Amino acid sequence: MINKICVSQQLCGQWFVGPWTKCSSSCDMGMETREVACVSKFLGVLKVVQPSNCQGNPPEQTRGCMGPPCNATWFMSDWTRCSRNCGRGYQKRKVQCIGPDGIPMNASVLECDEEKRPPSRRHCNDFSCNKNKSKDADSENDVEKECRDVLLDCWKIRSGSQEAKHKCEMEVFKKGCCKACRYSFLRSNGRSKIR
Q: Residue 9: which region, alpha, beta or left (left: phi > 0; alpha: psi -120 to 50)? A: beta
Query: At residue 131, does pLDDT exceed 70?
Result: no
As a whole number, mean pLDDT of residues 151-166 equals: 74
Q: Quote the pLDDT of residue 78.
A: 92
Comparing CA positions, the residue from 158, 151, 156, 157 lying closest to residue 176 is: 151
* Domain ranges within the chain, ordered by starting residue: 14-66, 73-124, 135-188
- φ, ψ (nearest 5 deg) of residue 90: -145, 160
Which residues are CB-neighbours of 77 under 8 A, at least 6 positions away?
93, 94, 95
Query: At residue 77, does pLDDT exceed 50?
Result: yes
Q: Quote the pLDDT of residue 91.
A: 93
What is the value of pTM for the model shown?
0.36
Query: At residue 10, does pLDDT exceed 70?
Result: no
Cα 174 from Cα 131, distance rounded (Å): 31
**Predicted confidence band of residue 148 (pLDDT cuts 50, 70, 90):** confident
| Greatest C-alpha distance within the chain | 107
CA–centroid distance for 111 within its chain: 22
Question: For 8-37, b where at least 16 C-beta lie within 10 A, e where not — what string?
Answer: eeeebbbbbbeeeeebeeeeeeeeeeeebb
Q: Quote the pLDDT of residue 151.
A: 75
pLDDT digits (tens, 9 = 90+) for 84-95: 888 888 999 999
**Predicted confidence band of residue 64 (pLDDT cuts 50, 70, 90):** very high
Q: Evaluate whether 104 touches 97 at the Cβ level (below 8 Å).
A: yes
More confident residue, 71 or 134: 71
Percent of the chain past pLDDT 70, that is, above it, reads 78
